[in-house]
Amino acid sequence: MASPLVTLNDGRLMPQLGLGVYKVNQDIAVQLVQTAIEIGYRRVDTAALYDNEAEVGAAIRKSGLDREEIFVTSKIWNDRHGYREAKEAIQESVNRLNIGYVDMMLIHWPCPKQDKFVETWHAFEEVLETGLVKSIGVSNFHQHHLEKLLAASNVVPAINQVELHPQLAQNSLRHFNKQHNIKTEAWAPLGRAKFLENPLLVEIAQSLGKSVAQVIIRWHLQLQNLVIPKSSNPDRLAENFDVFDFELSQHQMGIIATLNTETRIATNPDDMN
Ligand code: NAD
């Protein structure tokens, strides 16, 4: 079965479930992305930081799919903030991927202490006009970063990709994003496998004959999050994509909601430079 498609605020379609490739080494990246495409994934989330854009692009070129059939996201790193730097960084990612255009380019972190993300966003807005990137968005933006960005720019980010999992449900930010027609995307959607033995999740998974990872991915889908679990294991890749034939009840969604303590497992964006 294929992933559902989500319509972005710029009218483009994006598969709701995709593959994240953070910490996927270059030597396995081509094969892993090819395997994912064979399973049915049509979206890959990479970044300049991950040092595997070239391999992601190579896998897509080898796949035989038409370019429009696959959606690729990349991100510029924190040392490339600023108008001229950001433009160059986007061009470098486009070159490394070598698949024509990039579907979605993100500012990886706002880095508020640098105080340049508005300037960076203006570069993104201009690159959008060239067609080198088809959609633009942000990552790790708190509401107050978005408020500053929205007040000083013309293009509303298509997505805000943030740490989001049952322990950090980001309810308030998800609400703000929705009000501004920004899709919320969950990174570390499985909490980096930290909660896979949680008894409440295990009980739900057992009652449905599914794995805990599948239950968490389903929770994201039902909350309308975009979601990009990562695995280097082909069986788990298939497992994480096999989530379209069941539904969590409102009661089960409610049980998972009780796990939310709004606690991060990674850095708070305000502290990242
Ligand atoms: P994740 O929550 O996807 O967890 C990944 C880990 O979970 C894997 O290493 C694997 O050990 C385990 N796992 C995956 N599937 C499993 C399964 N079915 N059963 C058991 N264990 C399983 O964490 P992540 O990789 O940090 O996040 C996903 C993606 O989000 C990344 O690959 C990357 O693309 C993106 N990301 C973005 C940012 C950002 O700042 N924008 C930061 C981190 C990650």
Residue 178 near residue 225, CB atoms below 8 Å: no
**pLDDT the model gives residue 1:** 83
Catalytically active residues are 50
Place of tokens 């294929």: 2
Which tokens sit at 173? 């930010």
Residue located nearest, by CA, to atom 42 of ligand 1: 187
Residue 38 C-alpha to ligand 1 middle, in angstroms?
20
Give the mutation target among 173, 230, 237, 264 for probing the ligand 1 site: most ligand atoms within 8 A of CB.
Answer: 230
In this structure, the residues whose C-beta lies within 6 A of any atom of ligand 1 are 20-22, 45, 108, 139-140, 161, 187-193, 196, 211, 213, 228-231, 236, 239-240
**pLDDT the model gives residue 61:** 97
pLDDT tens digits in sequence order for the chain, 273 residues long: 899 999 999 999 999 999 999 999 999 999 999 999 999 999 999 999 999 999 999 999 999 999 999 999 999 999 999 999 999 999 999 999 999 999 999 999 999 999 999 999 999 999 999 999 999 999 999 999 999 999 999 999 999 999 999 999 999 999 999 999 999 999 999 999 999 999 999 999 999 999 999 999 999 999 999 999 999 999 999 999 999 999 999 999 999 999 999 999 999 999 998
Residue 187 C-alpha to ligand 1 middle, in angstroms?
7
Give the mutation target among 190, 195, 218, 267 for probing the ligand 1 site: most ligand atoms within 8 A of CB.
Answer: 190
- Estimate the share of the chain in helix, then strand, then coil, as percent rounded to the nearest 5: 45, 15, 40
Residue located nearest, by CA, to atom 4 of ligand 1: 192
- Distance between CA 142 and CA 112 in Å, rounded? 10
**pLDDT the model gives residue 31:** 98
From the CA of 229, give the closest atom in ligand 1. Answer: 3
Is pTM beyond 0.85? Reply is yes
For the chain, strand residue ranges (E) read 5-7, 13-15, 19-20, 43-45, 71-76, 102-107, 133-139, 159-163, 183-187, 226-227
Residue 23 C-alpha to ligand 1 middle, in angstroms?
9
φ and ψ of 262, to 5 deg: 50, 45
The contacts of residue 63 (CB under 8 Å, 6+ apart) are 34, 37, 70
Which tokens sit at 98? 């070598």
Q: How many CB atoms lie within 10 A of CB 23?
A: 10
Residue located nearest, by CA, to atom 27 of ligand 1: 188
Rg from Cα positions in the chain:
18
